[in-house]
Amino acid sequence: MSNSPDPSSFTQKLRRVASSIPFLTPNNLKVAALEPYMKRALVEVTGMQDTSTIFTVHPSFPTPTLRSDKKNRIIAFAGHFNPPHIGHKLLLTHAYLRYPTDNVIAAFIQPLDDDKVFLKLALKYHEIPPLVLTKQQRASLWQDPLLTPWAWANQHLPDALFGSFCQRLLQMAADAGFEMSYTVLVGPDCVPADTRLNWPDGSHELVTGDMARQVDFLSGGREPKKLKGCSQWAVRQWKRNGAGIGVPAYVQLLLLYPMLAAGVLGTGTKKNVERNCIAGLDAIPGIEEKAKRLLKGSLEDSGQSFVCYGEGWKERGTLVYLPIGHAKKYIGSMDISSQIIRDIARNTRGAMLEHAVGALALNPKILAEFLEEG
């Protein structure tokens, strides 16, 4: 019998750790929980102490953890999310589980400030009066038992301070001996086909996918076209992302291909699948093996990821494209956007609204409650 320590014991230790003091594993690997660093950075940026939990503990997910043997990547996803919909969620889950390097540890979701949402609806969509959910409401709609163990939806920090928080966190991690970086998740509508790619300020690593939006930079098939100011695309061979190690296949299936997951569990549990209620699912005979087979086939069907570089940037200007494709079976041929949900909400309320947007919106019941309050 091996005398090697059980790796899970270190995971449990991380879940109980109350400070950001790193500790060494038996092989001299320095590790530390990410959350305490985030709380310290939030205090320094805002001047306010927050005792609430950032990441929830879930037996199916690793605790967001900094490691000294790799660059620790965080997916940063900013948007109006007015309201967030299933396309937003699938973009996030595919970026988290399928990013083609073994170092994604968490995701930050930043709903943009209310005044920016108001201006977009008034000026771009000419909505009068604009239907604007508050930042706190839009962040609350991201609350999901399969997201909160690794994704933090910021409810209070304004846009002007969010960048300061991210930079302070980066410096704190570096001071403790951890290398950390941010990869910005954007919708495919932010990647132009015929004009030069506009890299966001301070962002040199971008990732996108093809869920819920027209992809203009595809050349009629699945191969992306060369972007202006960028190198040719190269296929990035897929390998299991570190974020997915230890996550049961049926949980990954729920996050990546939710409608297909219903087929694994049977029609009698379809409603539970769509609501991400996974309690007891591991007791279903053969569920993990069925899920592994379906997950493998679905990932192959989605296809390899692609990467290109900003010309002259190479190490800094990186864009990753994750074909999702197959996940569109979740919504069939329906279009999906926050605008469609708002249009439905203008003439529908209560249980009827919950039913009407149930396949599109995140947390449709809570959304209906927010609109009733407004």
Q: In this predicted model, which residue has the larger pLDDT, 151 or 228?
A: 151
Per residue in 1-52, pLDDT (tens digit) is 444 444 445 454 444 444 557 777 777 889 999 999 999 999 999 988 877 8
Domain ranges within the chain, ordered by starting residue: 7-243+305-333, 244-302, 337-374
Neighbours of 120 (CB within 10 A): 16
The whole-number pLDDT of residue 4 equals 42
Q: Rounded to the nearest 5°, which phi and psi values hold at 73?
A: -95, 135
Question: What pLDDT is recorded for position 332?
Answer: 53
**Confidence (pLDDT) at 257:** 87
Q: How high does pLDDT run on average in the chain?
A: 83
Q: Each residue of 47-93: pLDDT tens digit?
A: 888 778 999 999 889 899 999 999 999 999 999 999 999 999 999 99
Per-residue pLDDT at 199: 74
Q: Is 145 exposed, middle or buried (0-12, 13-18, 19+ CB in 10 A)?
A: middle
- Mean pLDDT over 235-251 rounds to 75
Is a pLDDT exceeding 80 seen at residue 301? yes
- What's the predicted TM-score (pTM) here? 0.89
Contact partners, residue 239, CB within 8 Å, separation at least 6? 100, 102
> Which pLDDT score, from 0 to 100, does residue 346 have?
87
Please name the residues in contact with 269: beta carbons below 8 A apart, sequence gap of 6 or more: 262, 281
The residue type at 97 = L
- In the block, tokens 């995971």 appear at 11
Phi, psi of 218 (to 5 degrees): -90, 140
Most confident stretch, 79-93, 186-200, 217-231, 313-327: 79-93
349: its two tokens: 């309320």
The span from the CA of 35 to the CA of 108, in Å, is 12
User: If phi over 0 gives left and psi between -120 and 50 gives alpha, with beta otherwise, what is residue 280?
Assistant: left
Q: Where are the alpha helices (DSSP H) in the chain?
A: 7-16, 34-46, 86-98, 114-123, 135-140, 159-175, 249-256, 258-265, 270-274, 287-302, 338-347, 350-356, 364-373
Asked if pLDDT for residue 314 goes beyond 60, the answer is no
Residue type, 163: G
Pairing between β-strand 71-79 and β-strand 179-185 as defined by DSSP bridges:
parallel
Residue 242 confidence (pLDDT): 59
